[in-house]
């Protein structure tokens, strides 16, 4: 009589039969299914079909124009590229603005350095002094607290009377200790201060002869026009920014 645990049929095997096979070393031909409920052969295909149907439904819900994941990342990359462009443009603008500011500051510095300042106390004292010869000049520079220095070198290139009766004076002067800053040139005619001017402009011949370059050669030349009577003695001096002076000697006012 068959065992009650035996299901019968081709596909079923009893627990006792499986145990006996195990004990005897016989490998079962297939898995044991209680109640003989072997899964349908097409079950795996059905699951795959269900997955395909689910993916198709999802695609239909999104629509044909819905972007894929790779397409969804494109805006992020484009935003990142735009940010880099903005940063690069800002950096270029900042560098350009910085260079422009430096240029403006450099221009103002050069103008400030080269522009003659307000007359110093010494120049003001000399302008109100009577200087007609070497003795009166010595008294005037002592009153102005000026000291003579061999660092001041110069020359008067021209003293001539113009058609309108004025006298033009041209020359150059340099002070090794002034580093190219303008010097004050003063002319006394007949004892009075007839001209006060500042050096301005380069003299390539003088700069080459003295080995000057750059700012040191920027302010060497001077020129001015004044009035004087023919035959009057002219006293010409140059005053430096650090309260020293140089004496050109005396000249005679042309007829």
- Return the bridge partners of 173, or none: 154
The pLDDT of residue 139 is 96
For residue 114, give both structure tokens: 């080269």
Task: List C-alpha distances in Å: 92 to 6, 95, 101, 253.
Answer: 89, 5, 14, 62
Report the distance separating Cα 226 and Cα 161, nearest Å: 10
Class of domain 121-252: mainly beta
For residue 181, give both structure tokens: 């800053």
Per-residue pLDDT tens listing for the chain (255 residues): 444 444 444 444 444 555 555 555 555 555 554 545 455 554 455 566 666 666 666 655 555 555 555 455 545 556 777 788 888 888 888 888 887 776 666 554 444 444 445 568 999 999 999 999 999 999 999 999 999 999 999 999 999 999 999 999 999 999 988 888 999 999 999 999 999 999 999 999 999 999 988 888 889 999 999 999 999 999 999 999 999 999 998 999 998
pTM of structure: 0.55
DSSP string computed for 196-232: EEE--B--HHHHHHHT--GGGGSB-EEEEEE---TT-
Q: Where are the domains positioned within the chain? A: 15-62, 69-113, 121-252
The pLDDT of residue 3 is 47
Report the distance separating Cα 77 and Cα 5, nearest Å: 68
For residue 60, give both structure tokens: 């239909």
């Amino acid at each position: 009589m068959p065992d009650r645990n035996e299901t019968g049929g081709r596909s079923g095997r009893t627990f006792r039969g499986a145990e006996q096979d195990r004990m005897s070393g016989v490998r079962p031909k297939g898995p044991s299914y209680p109640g003989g409920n072997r899964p349908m052969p097409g079950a795996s295909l059905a699951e795959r079909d269900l997955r395909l149907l689910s993916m198709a439904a999802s695609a239909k819900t999104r629509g044909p124009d819905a972007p894929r994941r790779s397409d969804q990342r494109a805006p992020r990359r484009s935003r990142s590229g735009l940010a880099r462009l903005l940063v690069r443009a800002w950096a270029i603008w900042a560098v350009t603005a910085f260079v422009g500011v430096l240029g403006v500051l450099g221009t103002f510095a050069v103008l400030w350095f080269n522009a003659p300042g307000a007359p110093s106390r010494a120049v003001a004292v000399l302008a109100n002094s009577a200087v007609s010869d070497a003795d009166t000049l010595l008294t005037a520079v002592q009153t102005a607290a000026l000291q003579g220095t061999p660092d001041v070198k110069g020359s008067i290139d021209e003293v001539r009377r113009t058609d309108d009766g004025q006298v033009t004076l041209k020359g150059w002067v340099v002070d090794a200790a002034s580093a190219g800053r303008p010097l004050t040139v003063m002319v006394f005619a007949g004892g009075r201060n007839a001209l006060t001017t500042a050096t301005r402009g380069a003299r390539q011949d003088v700069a080459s002869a003295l080995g000057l370059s750059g700012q040191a050669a920027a302010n060497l030349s001077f020129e001015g026009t004044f009035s004087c009577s023919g035959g009057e003695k002219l006293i010409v001096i140059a005053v430096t920014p650090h309260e020293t002076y140089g004496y050109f000697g005396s000249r005679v006012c042309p007829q």
